[in-house]
C-alpha cells in the first residue's frame, strides 16, 4: 500500500501544462499584436480568479471588494513611477508589497464582520480607497491620469518590444500566482485552509488557528492582487478612480469565472477564465444582454451545480490535474474509488 | 448656524438611510440572509414609481399605493422561487445568487430605462419648506424622516405584538423547531422578504423624489443601509434608525468641511465605530 499525491493524469497534466507554458512564452514570435493583448488580459483575469478563489473557495472569506487591491496596486504603481521616479521593474514588486502592507490592518478591522457582512465590509473598504484616490490631485483626482511616454519607453524601445514585455509580465504573474496558490495549498497552511473550507468548526477543534490562517491568506492575496492591478494599469497606460475600483470589472467578472469554473478547486478558475473569454469574444456585442445572461448562468450554476463545471467533471471521473489530494493506492487490484481530498 | 443646519439636514437624510437599512435588517434578523441586490431593488422600486406615476399621471407618493404591493409580491416570489433554495448553513450560495441578481437587475434596468438619470417629479412639495429661528427645513425631507420613524415603529410593533412577528422571531431563534411547531418556514421566509421589499419600495420612491437616480446607484445605497445596520447594532431596529442618523450627520458634517469629504466622512465614521465597538452601538442579537 502506498499514499501518493500524484496520479498518472496529474503527472501528464503537469507535463502538458509546462509545454503550454513554454509555447505561450514564445507567443510574441507566433501571435499577432491583438492576440497578445487578449492573452495578456486572460492571464491577468486567471490570476485574479485564482486569488479570489483562495479567499472565497478556501479561506471562507467571500469578498466583493477585491477591486480595492486592484486599484491600490494600479495607483501605487503610477505613484511610484510618476511621482518618485522608481524604475518600472522595481515599482511592480513594491506595489505588491504595498498591497500586502495595507491588507494587514484592513484585515484586522473587517475580520470583525462575519460572513455576508464581511462581504459588504470589503466593498466599503474599496469605496474608501476610491474616494481617497479621487481626492488626490497629484494623481489626477477624479478624472485620473496617464502614464507619461517617457516611463512607458523604459519597458522597451520599440512598440513591439513593449507589447512583448507587457505580455511576458502578464504571463509571468499568472505563473507566479498559480504557482503560489499551488505551493500554499500543498503546504501546512494549505491543509489548514482545506480543513477550513470543508468544516470551520471541525478545523477549529483540531487546533487550527482560524484567524491567523485567514489573516495570512488575506494579506498574501491582497499583495498579489495589487501586483496584478499594477500590471493591468501598466497595460492600459491610463488610470482613473472609476476604472481602478470598478466592482464590475474586477469582482463581478471574477466571481462569475470562479463560480462557473468551479469554486474551491485550483482547476476551476482556469477553466472558468477560458469559458468567460470564449463567451465574451462571441457575445460581447450583445452588451447588457450578455451581462444579464452571465448573471443568469451564475445563478443557475450556484443552484444546480454549486461546485461548478470542474466540480461536475471531478465528481464523474475523479480527475485532478494539480496533485493536491492524497490517495491510497495498491490496496486492491481494482482502481481505487475517486477520493474527495 | 451652518453647522446646526448641517446636523439637521444630516438627521433628516439619516431617516432615508434608515429606510434603506430597515429591509436589510429585517431579513437578516429573520433568516440571516444578506441581500447583495438590496440596493438595486431600491432602484427598481424608484423606476417602478417612475413608470406608474408617468403612465397614470399620479403623484409619486400616490404611486406608493401600487409600488408597495408590487414590490411585496416580487419579494415573496423571489424568496419562494429562488432564494429559499439557497438557505442553509453555507453563506456562499445566497451571497453569490443575490450578487448575480444584482447584476441582472442593473443591466435589466439599463436595457429598459437607459443610463440617463431620472427623477420623480413631486411638484411644489420638492421646494416647500418651513423656517424657524433662522433654520430652514424642507417639507419633503421632513416627510421622509417622519415616515421612516413610523415604519420602524410599525416594524417594531409587528415584531413584538403580532402573530406574524412571533412567527418571525420563532423562525429566527430556531428554524427547525419553528417548523416542528407548525410554521411553514418557506412561507415565513417569503413573507419576510416581501415585507422587506415593501419597505424598500417606500425607500426607493423617496430616493427618487429627493435625488436623481440611474441604474448604477444601487451599490452605494446598499452600502449606506449596511453601514446604518452595523453602526446601530445587529437586530435592533431603533438602533438602525440611530445608525442611519449617525451616518447622515457624519456625511453632512463632512460635506460642510469640504464637498469631496461627504461620502468619505460617513465611511470613516463607520470604520471607526467598527474598530471601537465591533458589534455596533446598540446590539441586541448574536451574529
Euclidean distance between CA atoms A89 and A203, whole angstroms? 41
Euclidean distance between CA atoms B41 and B53, whole angstroms? 18
Give which of B104, B101, B84, B106 is closest to B33, Cα–Cα.
B84
pLDDT recorded at residue A338 = 58
Give which of A280, A238, A297 is closest to A42, Cα–Cα.
A280
Cβ-based contacts of A134 with chain B (< 8 Å): 260
Is the pLDDT at A131 greater than 80? The verdict is: yes
Euclidean distance between CA atoms A183 and A325, whole angstroms? 13
Lowest mean pLDDT among A106-110, A205-209, B157-161: A205-209
Beta carbons of A103 and A223 less than 8 angstroms apart: yes
Contacts of B267 (CB under 8 A, 6+ apart): A124, A127, A128, A131, B227
Put simply, the answer to whether B99 touches A294 (Cβ < 8 Å) is: no
DSSP three-state, residue A324: coil
The reply to whether B282 falls in a domain is: no
φ, ψ for residue B98, nearest 5 deg: -70, -30
A and B: number of Cβ contacts within 8 A:
117
Q: Which of A112, A127, A134 sits opposite B274 (nearest CB)?
A: A112
Band of pLDDT at residue B89, cut at 50, 70 and 90: confident
φ, ψ for residue A145, nearest 5 deg: -150, 165
Cβ-based contacts of B264 with chain A (< 8 Å): 128, 131-132, 135
The reply to whether A114 falls in a domain is: yes
Is the pLDDT at A223 greater than 90? The verdict is: yes
Distances (CA, A) of A98 to A13, A124, A226, A227, B196: 35, 19, 8, 9, 41
pLDDT recorded at residue B171 = 86
If you measure CA to CA, which chain A residue comes closest to B24? A117
Pick the residue of A113, A117, A196, A287 with the most B CBs within 10 A to test the interface with B by mutation. A117
Q: How far is B221 from chain A (nearest CA, A)?
A: 11
Is the pLDDT at A1 greater than 90? The verdict is: no
DSSP notation for A32-43: -HHHHHHHHHHH
pLDDT recorded at residue A334 = 55
Rg value, chain B, Cα: 19
> Which residues constitute the domain of residue B110?
2-115+137-276
Q: In total, how many domains does chain A have?
A: 1
Is the pLDDT at A339 greater than 60? The verdict is: no
- In chain B, which residues touch A (CB < 8 A)? 32-34, 36, 82, 85-86, 91-97, 99-104, 106-108, 110-111, 219-220, 222-223, 226-227, 230, 260-261, 263-264, 267-268, 270-271, 274-275, 278, 287
pLDDT recorded at residue B117 = 93
The reply to whether B86 falls in a domain is: yes
Is the pLDDT at A193 greater than 90? The verdict is: no
- H helices, E strands: number in chain B: 11, 2
If you measure CA to CA, which chain A residue comes closest to B258? A135
The reply to whether B125 falls in a domain is: no
The reply to whether A66 falls in a domain is: yes
Is the pLDDT at A220 greater than 90? The verdict is: yes
pLDDT recorded at residue B151 = 95
Band of pLDDT at residue B92, cut at 50, 70 and 90: confident
In this prediction, residues A80-105 reach a mean pLDDT of 93
The reply to whether A334 falls in a domain is: no
The reply to whether A210 falls in a domain is: yes
Terminal alpha carbon distance of chain B: 41
pLDDT recorded at residue B181 = 83
- Burial classification of residue A37, based on how many CB atoms lie within 10 Å of its CB (0-12 exposed, 13-18 middle, 19 or more buried): middle
In this prediction, residues B196-211 reach a mean pLDDT of 94
Is the pLDDT at B131 greater than 70? The verdict is: yes
CATH number (domain holding residue B65): 1.10.3470
> Between helices A115-134 and B218-232, what is the axis angle to 10°?
120
CATH number (domain holding residue A79): 1.10.3470
In this prediction, residues A169-192 reach a mean pLDDT of 90
Beta carbons of A184 and A193 less than 8 angstroms apart: yes
φ, ψ for residue B281, nearest 5 deg: -80, -40
Beta-carbon count within 10 A of A221 CB: 29
pLDDT recorded at residue B285 = 62
In this prediction, residues B169-197 reach a mean pLDDT of 88
Q: How does pLDDT run across B209-245, given as a tens digit for each residue?
A: 989 999 999 988 999 999 999 898 887 889 999 999 9
Pick the residue of B27, B40, B86, B99 with the most A CBs within 10 A to test the interface with A by mutation. B99
pLDDT recorded at residue A340 = 52
In this prediction, residues A94-116 reach a mean pLDDT of 91
Put simply, the answer to whether B270 touches A302 (Cβ < 8 Å) is: no
The reply to whether B130 falls in a domain is: no
The reply to whether A339 falls in a domain is: no
ipTM of the complex: 0.85
Q: How does pLDDT run across B7-63, given as a tens digit for each residue?
A: 999 999 999 999 999 999 898 888 888 899 999 999 999 999 999 999 998 899 999
pLDDT recorded at residue B244 = 95
- Chain length of chain A: 341
Pick the residue of B82, B88, B103 with the most A CBs within 10 A to test the interface with A by mutation. B103
Pick the residue of B107, B268, B273 with the most A CBs within 10 A to test the interface with A by mutation. B107
The reply to whether B131 falls in a domain is: no
Q: Which of B108, B264, B275 sits opposite A109 (nearest CB)?
A: B275
Give which of A329, A93, A110 is closest to A211, Cα–Cα.
A110
Q: How far is B128 from chain A (nearest CA, A)?
A: 33
> Which residues constitute the domain of residue A170?
2-329
Is the pLDDT at A325 greater than 80? The verdict is: no
Euclidean distance between CA atoms A108 and A222, whole angstroms? 13
Euclidean distance between CA atoms B33 and B171, whole angstroms? 13
The reply to whether B20 falls in a domain is: yes
Cβ-based contacts of B226 with chain A (< 8 Å): 117, 120, 124
The reply to whether B124 falls in a domain is: no
- Burial classification of residue B26, based on how many CB atoms lie within 10 Å of its CB (0-12 exposed, 13-18 middle, 19 or more buried): buried
Euclidean distance between CA atoms A74 and B210, whole angstroms? 36
Band of pLDDT at residue A200, cut at 50, 70 and 90: confident
Q: How far is A102 from chain B (nearest CA, A)?
A: 15
pLDDT recorded at residue A336 = 53
Q: How does pLDDT run across B240-277, given as a tens digit for each residue?
A: 999 999 999 999 999 999 888 889 999 999 999 988 88
pLDDT recorded at residue B19 = 93
Q: In total, how many domains does chain B have?
A: 1
Q: Which of B36, B104, B230 sits opposite A292 (nearest CB)?
A: B104
- Burial classification of residue A17, based on how many CB atoms lie within 10 Å of its CB (0-12 exposed, 13-18 middle, 19 or more buried): middle
In this prediction, residues B141-153 reach a mean pLDDT of 94
- Rounded mean pLDDT of chain B? 90
Euclidean distance between CA atoms A123 and A62, whole angstroms? 11
Q: Which residues pair with A327 in a beta bridge?
A: A4
Is the pLDDT at A287 greater than 90? The verdict is: no
The reply to whether A338 falls in a domain is: no
Q: What angle do CA B79, B82, B86 make, to 5 degrees?
A: 95
Is the pLDDT at A332 greater than 80? The verdict is: no
φ, ψ for residue A339, nearest 5 deg: -90, 155
Q: How does pLDDT run across A271-282, given as a tens digit for each residue?
A: 999 999 988 888
pLDDT recorded at residue A330 = 67
The reply to whether A241 falls in a domain is: yes
The reply to whether A341 falls in a domain is: no
Amino acid at each position: 500500500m502506498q499514499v501518493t499525491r500524484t496520479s498518472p493524469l496529474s503527472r501528464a497534466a503537469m507535463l502538458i501544462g509546462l509545454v503550454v507554458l513554454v509555447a505561450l512564452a514564445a507567443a510574441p514570435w507566433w501571435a499577432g499584436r491583438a492576440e497578445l493583448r487578449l492573452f495578456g488580459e486572460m492571464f491577468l483575469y486567471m490570476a485574479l480568479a485564482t486569488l479570489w478563489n483562495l479567499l472565497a473557495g478556501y479561506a471562507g472569506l467571500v469578498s466583493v471588494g477585491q477591486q480595492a487591491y486592484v486599484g491600490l496596486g494600479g495607483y501605487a504603481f503610477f505613484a511610484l513611477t510618476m511621482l518618485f521616479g522608481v524604475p518600472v521593474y522595481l515599482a511592480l514588486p513594491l506595489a505588491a508589497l504595498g498591497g500586502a502592507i495595507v491588507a494587514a490592518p484592513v484585515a484586522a478591522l473587517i475580520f470583525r464582520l462575519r460572513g455576508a457582512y464581511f462581504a459588504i465590509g470589503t466593498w466599503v473598504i474599496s469605496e474608501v480607497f476610491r474616494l481617497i484616490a479621487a481626492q488626490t490631485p497629484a494623481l489626477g483626482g477624479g478624472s485620473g491620469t496617464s502614464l507619461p511616454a517617457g516611463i512607458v519607453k523604459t519597458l522597451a524601445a520599440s512598440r513591439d518590444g513593449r507589447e512583448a514585455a507587457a505580455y511576458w509580465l502578464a504571463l509571468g504573474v499568472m505563473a507566479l500566482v498559480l504557482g503560489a496558490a499551488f505551493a500554499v495549498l500543498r503546504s501546512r497552511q494549505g491543509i489548514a485552509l482545506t480543513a477550513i473550507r470543508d468544516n470551520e468548526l471541525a478545523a477549529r477543534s483540531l487546533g487550527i488557528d482560524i484567524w491567523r490562517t485567514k489573516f495570512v491568506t488575506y494579506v498574501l492575496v491582497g499583495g498579489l492582487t495589487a501586483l496584478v492591478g499594477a500590471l493591468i494599469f501598466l497595460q492600459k497606460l491610463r488610470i482613473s478612480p472609476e476604472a481602478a475600483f470598478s466592482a464590475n470589472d474586477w469582482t463581478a467578472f471574477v466571481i462569475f469565472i470562479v463560480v462557473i469554473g468551479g469554486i474551491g478547486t485550483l482547476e476551476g478558475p482556469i477553466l472558468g477564465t477560458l469559458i468567460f473569454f470564449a463567451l465574451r469574444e462571441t457575445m460581447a456585442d450583445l452588451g447588457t444582454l450578455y451581462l444579464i445572461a452571465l448573471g443568469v448562468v451564475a445563478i443557475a450554476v450556484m443552484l444546480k451545480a454549486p461546485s461548478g463545471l470542474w466540480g461536475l467533471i471531478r465528481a464523474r471521473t475523479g480527475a485532478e490535474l494539480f496533485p493536491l489530494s492524497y490517495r491510497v493506492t495498491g490496496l486492491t487490484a481494482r482502481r481505487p474509488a475517486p477520493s474527495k481530498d | 448656524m451652518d453647522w446646526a443646519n448641517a446636523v439637521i439636514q444630516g438627521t433628516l437624510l439619516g431617516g432615508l438611510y434608515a429606510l434603506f437599512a430597515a429591509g436589510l435588517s429585517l431579513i437578516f434578523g429573520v433568516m440571516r440572509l444578506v441581500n447583495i441586490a438590496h440596493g438595486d431593488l431600491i432602484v427598481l422600486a424608484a423606476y417602478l414609481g417612475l413608470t406608474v406615476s408617468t403612465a397614470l399621471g399620479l403623484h409619486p407618493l400616490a404611486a406608493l399605493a401600487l409600488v408597495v404591493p408590487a414590490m411585496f409580491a416580487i419579494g415573496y416570489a423571489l424568496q419562494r422561487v429562488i432564494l429559499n433554495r439557497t438557505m442553509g448553513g453555507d453563506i456562499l450560495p445566497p451571497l453569490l445568487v443575490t450578487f448575480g441578481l444584482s447584476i441582472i437587475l442593473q443591466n435589466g434596468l439599463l436595457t429598459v430605462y437607459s443610463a440617463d438619470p431620472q427623477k420623480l417629479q413631486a411638484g411644489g412639495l420638492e421646494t416647500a419648506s418651513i423656517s424657524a429661528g433662522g433654520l430652514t427645513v424642507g417639507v419633503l425631507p421632513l416627510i421622509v424622516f417622519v415616515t421612516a420613524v413610523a415604519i420602524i415603529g410599525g416594524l417594531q410593533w409587528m415584531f413584538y405584538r403580532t402573530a406574524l412577528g412571533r412567527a418571525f422571531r420563532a423562525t429566527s431563534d430556531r428554524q427547525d423547531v419553528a417548523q416542528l411547531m407548525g410554521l411553514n418556514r418557506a412561507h415565513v421566509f417569503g413573507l419576510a422578504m416581501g415585507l422587506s421589499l415593501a419597505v424598500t419600495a417606500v425607500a426607493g420612491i423617496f430616493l427618487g423624489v429627493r435625488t436623481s437616480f440611474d441604474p448604477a446607484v444601487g451599490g452605494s445605497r446598499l452600502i449606506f443601509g449596511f453601514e446604518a445596520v452595523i453602526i446601530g447594532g445587529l437586530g435592533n431596529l431603533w438602533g438602525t434608525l440611530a445608525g442611519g442618523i449617525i451616518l447622515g450627520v457624519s456625511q453632512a458634517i463632512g460635506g460642510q468641511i469640504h464637498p469631496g469629504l461627504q461620502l468619505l466622512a460617513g465611511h470613516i465614521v463607520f470604520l471607526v465605530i467598527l474598530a471601537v465597538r465591533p458589534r455596533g452601538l446598540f446590539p441586541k442579537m448574536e451574529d
